[in-house]
Structure 1
Amino acid sequence: MADGWQLACDTYQRAITASEVESKTDPETEPYRSKYRARELLREVRALLGPGAEEESGEGQAGSQEDEGDEGRLLAARLAVIEFRLGVNHTETEEMSAGEEHLVKGVRLLERYRLSHDCVSVYIQGQNNLGILWADRGEIIIAQTYLESAESLYCHYMKKIGKPPLDPDEHFTPEEQRLTEQERAKRFERVYTHTLYYLAQVYKHLKQDEKAAQYCHTTLQRQLEYDGYNPVEWAINAATLSQYYLGKQCYMEARHCLAAANVIFSKAGQIPSPGAAKENEAEQERLDNLRQKKAEIARCWVKYCLNLLADARKKLEDNIGELDVDLQEELKTERKKQEDEKEKGWKKAVLFGSSDVYDSILAVEEKVDCSLPLDFKEAREIFLVGQNYINEAKEYFQLDGHVTDHIEVIQDHSALFKVLAFFEDDYERRCKMHKRRIDMLEPLCKELNPQYYLLVCRQLQFELADTYYEMMDLKVAIGNKLDEMDSHTVKKINSLAQSAIKFYEMFLDSLRSPDKKFPEKLEDDVLRPALVAKFHIARLYGKLITADGKKQLENMQISLSYYTFLVEYCANNEEAIKSVETELELSKEMVALLPARMERLRIQMSSFS
């Protein structure tokens, strides 16, 4: 019997080696060769467990005889380990139904013994894998049932027994080679961490975002605690979690996730120079993956800075979109009173890592605030952090090879300048910030082919038009402070207005059919932008400055035609009214007023002729 048991143990170890080590070097022509070999070895082990083992495994009788005591439980546990391993083997070779069958057998064998110290880990791992299998099939509710059952069993076991349980592989390991209590505990905790990780995915699928984030955060914390993680994967998951916290305006938690992502990513090793990896294809692939992940984390940082600035703007702007100075002072006073509460807030936050890791995380956090900026100086500090990460992201997401990503990074850069300009009270400096936006967006707009990048081109055209429009308004405000506008200011205002008109027209032209007809009914996704473009063009023609009465009359006529279009479109498509209520009211006013103004100008012109 001893010889038979030793043979079973040796065969089991050969199966594990074939599955987990040798399979990595299988040829492309036979990708599962070692997995199939492992499967045969596992079946041999099952046969070696005794004459009735096959039947016991098939019917689940081993766990049903109470009077068998320890011997019955031990046989059930060993059979369950084999069934678990066979189940994993079949799923890894894409034989899902067979995999499910083995996993279910393994779980059933241990139903009666699931709380015992030598069965609980196998049982939970079986449920984890069944959860994954059903999730892959798109049956999320079934997956949830298995995983929540695994979670519940872990909690029950730890509360009732608490002793580190036997690892599945130890059932086929000689006594003298078994794990220490410490290593058993670590492995069991990793099993439970996997349960939480998969539950986080399930809750995300079920749109239970808060629960998903909570489980994801706990998973990341446990991975650090029990040293069971891939640094790159961990960092990406932490950076992704930060985006959930951003949506909830939890900036302290978002910053903590991003700082932790930076620190843990650095553990993946230094990224070698492209030249150093050129000769080695595998190394080149690893390098490219590292550079991509680093750029993705940088983009999450950009979103952090952008959201922080944008939320501050929303809080500080008045009803015409300008900085509310009184509110600004009020908020500054309020914040000083709350400085003591900040420390308490830290204590409530879920923190990552042991003390040595946390010190590194804290060092990263200190480089960027998590409070809403209340003036230009504070906003600029956040802007500079964001701009630094923009440059980091652009190193990988270049126009050649990553068109869409590159454009999104540039758009974020433009958005950073736009929101920073809100905090600037000097109109000339604000204009320069908007000019920076134009300098980065206009070349992109010229380079892209609308045939392949129509939606992106529309976005760029509209943003460029809006930026020129904003600059024109600023130049008008600057000009109005002068006793008399000089010719240079007039020329600049007209130039900016004409540029804005040009890009609004380009946007509107992109909506036309191949025969150049403008749509009678606008699609929902372009309804508001199209009508706002019409409204702004009408207003821009009214802003053009000219001493030529005839030209002025001509501009007023064009302006009237655009206002009229908006009014008539909303009259014919009443569902559009709610999209442009403010613009519609102003357009109706101008449609009523402009004809009289034009008539007065005609009379004035005829009296001078």
Structure 2
Amino acid sequence: MDKQNIISILEKVEQLLSINDPDSTPFKSKYEAIELLKTNRSNIKEDDKEFLGVFDSKLGDLYISTEEITIGLQVSTNAIKELEGYESKYTKYICKSLQNVSMVYINRNDLTLGNEYLSRSESLIKESLATVSDSVDITSTTIDDLKSLDLMNCFYLAQLYGLLKDSEKSSKYCEKTLQLQLELKKEFNIKEWCNNCLSLSSFYSENENNYDYAKQCFLASLLIAENEQDDDVKKEIQANVYLVMGKYFSSYFKLYYQAEKLKSAHQDKDNNYDFVTPNTTVPDNTLERLENEKKRQKILDSIQFNQDKYNSNPLFSQLDFTPIQSKLTQPITLEPILDFESARKCFLQAQHYFNKAKKYYQLDGFVTEYVNIEFDMVNLYEYLIKFETIGKRKTTMYKKRLELIEPLLQELNPQYFYSQVQAIYFKCGEIYSEIAKLFERMSANLQETSLYNNFLFKAIDNYQKYINTYDMKGVDKDEAIKNDIDTFILAKCEIAICHKNVQGMNRLVYDHLNKSISNFKSIVELLKLPSNQDIFNRFQDEYQLCQDMLRLLPQKTKFLSDKLG
């Protein structure tokens, strides 16, 4: 069979593949194309390997697209072997076969082999882009063919590295996929494009601290969403954009919060100690302070925004963001957060876009999304509190955090929203504990002491309810605790510390100190289980705290016991 006949058959195959088959027989034209190729393949001489390779490449692709995976893998693998030595001549066929084989292996969870085939395809595409010539016939590889192949290769590599948990490489290939989709000007799924672009935005803000590229990504999504014809889909995309915009400001705010927190991190451990003996001394925290200052400076140095190197080299050079930015109700501007006023400005920007997202993601219909946004808002208040210096205003903000999530406990059935209810109990315990710390410094009379204790009791109650949720797991309780061991141990530590910090009448303090000792003992027993050796190694600070408390607190209970008679 000569090349002209080959070209004629391939053209007939393409004509068949251009037919839109009815839903009742979705593969009708593809099956006809398979039969056409199989029938004519037998007329190709065995030594005409290049033509066999071209036919097998098309056959393998058709078998896989008609869900005949095993034979598709075999035929595509044969095509790759048959086309060895003809890479420059039949680039699009060998690359398509390499991609098909790679996806079969990736779907079978053989990621190493999948990566090997995609890497071969990637290298061949790069080489061919530098030497591509004008199209001669249907078998020739054009620049558009190569870019389409490159697009699919990047798409597959983004998925592959996502499965390999390599977020940096996955994001880079996702970025190139999005760029090629715009460059090729072919029709693509707008919702899918926007969601991928928003994921890229989150990667840049949360992993790279690159707020210029993160901004470009969500603005691109907002701009591309304007082309969506389905109003419901468009509203969903816009809500997702607003959500990412809220997280953009929140992520930026969090970095300054973390930097500010490091200023006083060395003091946090000391707050857990009760100095009941004359020989108890405050540890020298000089080295820790110096180390924390280095960490703090590293965080501040990592923040990238308003930088020419990113804005003069945009990710999507073909898009003009000016019209879409003019429609925004809040400007997308960032500035260093140095005091409460600059912190409040960033807080309000994040809050604004979270509230816009909540107009779509309402509790009735979007429980998980709604709860997650409420937690985002809770975190925002936490960041803002760090920059507030007035105790009363701090207390007000802590209470606003509770107002966001505590009422949800009346709305959510723990049987269906177990993880959300768990998270709310834990967070409420944390917030009540933080409020108690504020009141501890103000407990000058019986009424203030009672108020302080009530916050401690509410913290204990919420932490205990968090722990009690594991009873719902039945026979899987131990496994569930092991999966959440970090928060489980922290909850038990907080309960022990809250009991230890109760103030007031001797009998009340004595009773709660004994409860504290009991909780500290249970933590030590849990950490010292032979099966928990890896956990023990991770929780050395908590273990040391427990040991210190078990050494110091019995002395205090003995002192109180003697006074009580």
TM-score between the two structures when normalised by the length of structure 2: 0.78
Q: Secondary structure at the match of 1:367?
A: coil
Q: Which residue of 118, 132, 153 corresponds with 1:162?
A: 132
Q: Which residue of 413, 432, 454 corresponds with 1:495?
A: 454
- Tell me the CA shift for residue 80 of structure 1: 5.7
1:66 is matched with none
Contact 1:465–1:501 under 8 Å retained in 2: yes
- After superposition, the Cα gap between the structure-2 partners of 1:91 and 1:572, relative to the gap in structure 1 and judged at 3 Å, is closer
Q: Which residue of 307, 312, 318 corresponds with 2:256?
A: 312
1:202 partner letter: L
- Tell me the CA shift for residue 463 of structure 1: 1.0
Contact 1:121–1:166 under 8 Å retained in 2: no
2:59 partner letter: L
Note the 1:33-112 alignment, pairs <5 A. Answer: 33-41=28-36, 47=40, 54-56=42-44, 59=46, 61=48, 63=50, 76=51, 82-104=55-77, 106-107=79-80, 110-112=83-85
In 1, Cα distance between equivalents of 2:473 and 2:214? 47
- Tell me the CA shift for residue 426 of structure 1: 2.3
How big is each residue's C-alpha offset from its partner over 1:39-69, in whole Å with a ceiling of 9 and x where there is no partner?
34555xx64xxxxx63427x35154xxxxxx
- After superposition, the Cα gap between the structure-2 partners of 1:493 and 1:164, relative to the gap in structure 1 and judged at 3 Å, is farther
Instruction: Confirm or deny that 1:412 pairs with 2:376.
Output: yes
2:221 is matched with 261
2:401 is matched with 437
Instruction: Confirm or deny that 1:357 pairs with 2:320.
Output: yes
Contact 2:362–2:370 under 8 Å retained in 1: yes
Contact 1:468–1:499 under 8 Å retained in 2: yes
In 1, Cα distance between equivalents of 2:306 and 2:102? 41
How big is each residue's C-alpha offset from its partner over 1:490-509, in whole Å with a ceiling of 9 and x where there is no partner?
44323322211211221233
- Tell me the CA shift for residue 155 of structure 1: 2.6
In 2, Cα distance between equivalents of 1:322 and 1:423? 17
Note the 1:192-203 alignment, pairs <5 A. Answer: 192-203=150-161
Instruction: Confirm or deny that 1:561 pairs with 2:518.
Output: yes
- Tell me the CA shift for residue 380 of structure 1: 3.1
Contact 2:406–2:428 under 8 Å retained in 1: yes
- After superposition, the Cα gap between the structure-2 partners of 1:294 and 1:144, relative to the gap in structure 1 and judged at 3 Å, is same
- Tell me the CA shift for residue 438 of structure 1: 1.3
Q: Which residue of 187, 197, 202 corresponds with 1:243?
A: 202
Q: Secondary structure at the match of 2:48?
A: coil
Any stretches of 5+ residues in structure 2 without a counterpart?
269-288
In 2, Cα distance between equivalents of 1:127 and 1:360? 42
In 2, Cα distance between equivalents of 1:300 and 1:382? 15
Instruction: Confirm or deny that 1:213 pairs with 2:180.
Output: no
2:310 is matched with 346
Contact 1:124–1:153 under 8 Å retained in 2: yes
Identity of aligned residues (%): 24
Contact 1:61–1:109 under 8 Å retained in 2: no
Q: Which residue of 179, 182, 194 corresponds with 1:224?
A: 182
Q: Which residue of 135, 143, 152 corresponds with 2:106?
A: 135
Q: Secondary structure at the match of 2:338?
A: coil
In 1, Cα distance between equivalents of 2:110 and 2:519? 53
In 2, Cα distance between equivalents of 1:506 and 1:523? 14
How big is each residue's C-alpha offset from its partner over 1:84-135, in whole Å with a ceiling of 9 and x where there is no partner?
443332212111233335445555554444324xx33344334333333433
- Tell me the CA shift for residue 352 of structure 1: 1.5
Contact 2:223–2:321 under 8 Å retained in 1: no
- Tell me the CA shift for residue 437 of structure 1: 1.9
Contact 1:35–1:93 under 8 Å retained in 2: yes
Q: Secondary structure at the match of 2:227?
A: helix
- Tell me the CA shift for residue 452 of structure 1: 4.1
In 1, Cα distance between equivalents of 2:140 and 2:524? 79
- Tell me the CA shift for residue 12 of structure 1: 6.0
2:123 partner letter: S
- Tell me the CA shift for residue 468 of structure 1: 0.8
Q: Secondary structure at the match of 1:249?
A: coil
Kindly indicate whether structure 1 or structure 2 has the higher relative contact order, using CA contacts under 8 Å at least 6 residues apart. Answer: 2
In 1, Cα distance between equivalents of 2:166 and 2:517? 51
Instruction: Confirm or deny that 1:538 pairs with 2:496.
Output: yes
In 1, Cα distance between equivalents of 2:351 and 2:267? 24
- Tell me the CA shift for residue 465 of structure 1: 0.5
Of residues 101-110 and 464-473 in structure 1, the stretch that sits farther from structure 2 once superposed is: 101-110
How big is each residue's C-alpha offset from its partner over 1:389-425, in whole Å with a ceiling of 9 and x where there is no partner?
4334434444444443433332222222222222222
Q: Which residue of 5, 13, 26 corresponds with 2:23?
A: 26
In 2, Cα distance between equivalents of 1:243 and 1:60? 53
Contact 1:122–1:168 under 8 Å retained in 2: no
Contact 2:80–2:97 under 8 Å retained in 1: yes
In 1, Cα distance between equivalents of 2:536 and 2:100? 53
- After superposition, the Cα gap between the structure-2 partners of 1:425 and 1:32, relative to the gap in structure 1 and judged at 3 Å, is same
1:427 is matched with 391
1:473 is matched with 437
How big is each residue's C-alpha offset from its partner over 1:327-366, in whole Å with a ceiling of 9 and x where there is no partner?
79x97xx98xx99x95443268652231x43556877799
Contact 1:259–1:365 under 8 Å retained in 2: no
- After superposition, the Cα gap between the structure-2 partners of 1:429 and 1:165, relative to the gap in structure 1 and judged at 3 Å, is farther
- After superposition, the Cα gap between the structure-2 partners of 1:368 and 1:40, relative to the gap in structure 1 and judged at 3 Å, is same
2:271 is matched with none
- After superposition, the Cα gap between the structure-2 partners of 1:103 and 1:552, relative to the gap in structure 1 and judged at 3 Å, is closer
In 1, Cα distance between equivalents of 2:174 and 2:474? 53
Q: Secondary structure at the match of 2:405?
A: helix
- After superposition, the Cα gap between the structure-2 partners of 1:588 and 1:96, relative to the gap in structure 1 and judged at 3 Å, is closer
How large is the Cα RMSD of the aligned pairs? 4.3
In 2, Cα distance between equivalents of 1:7 and 1:222? 31
Contact 2:226–2:234 under 8 Å retained in 1: no
Of residues 342-351 and 536-545 in structure 1, the stretch that sits farther from structure 2 once superposed is: 342-351
Any stretches of 5+ residues in structure 1 without a counterpart?
48-52, 64-75, 172-183, 273-286
Contact 2:58–2:93 under 8 Å retained in 1: no
In 1, Cα distance between equivalents of 2:388 and 2:266? 13
- After superposition, the Cα gap between the structure-2 partners of 1:54 and 1:298, relative to the gap in structure 1 and judged at 3 Å, is farther
Contact 1:309–1:372 under 8 Å retained in 2: no
In 2, Cα distance between equivalents of 1:429 and 1:322? 22
1:450 is matched with 414
1:312 partner letter: Y
- Tell me the CA shift for residue 470 of structure 1: 0.7
TM-score between the two structures when normalised by the length of structure 1: 0.73
In 2, Cα distance between equivalents of 1:149 and 1:406? 44
Q: Secondary structure at the match of 1:138?
A: coil
In 2, Cα distance between equivalents of 1:387 and 1:466? 22
Contact 1:128–1:147 under 8 Å retained in 2: yes
1:283 is matched with none
2:439 partner letter: K
1:319 partner letter: S
In 1, Cα distance between equivalents of 2:383 and 2:293? 18
- After superposition, the Cα gap between the structure-2 partners of 1:473 and 1:114, relative to the gap in structure 1 and judged at 3 Å, is same
In 2, Cα distance between equivalents of 1:366 and 1:165? 50
Contact 1:450–1:457 under 8 Å retained in 2: yes
- Tell me the CA shift for residue 209 of structure 1: 4.0
- After superposition, the Cα gap between the structure-2 partners of 1:305 and 1:168, relative to the gap in structure 1 and judged at 3 Å, is farther
Note the 1:117-156 alignment, pairs <5 A. Answer: 119-156=90-127
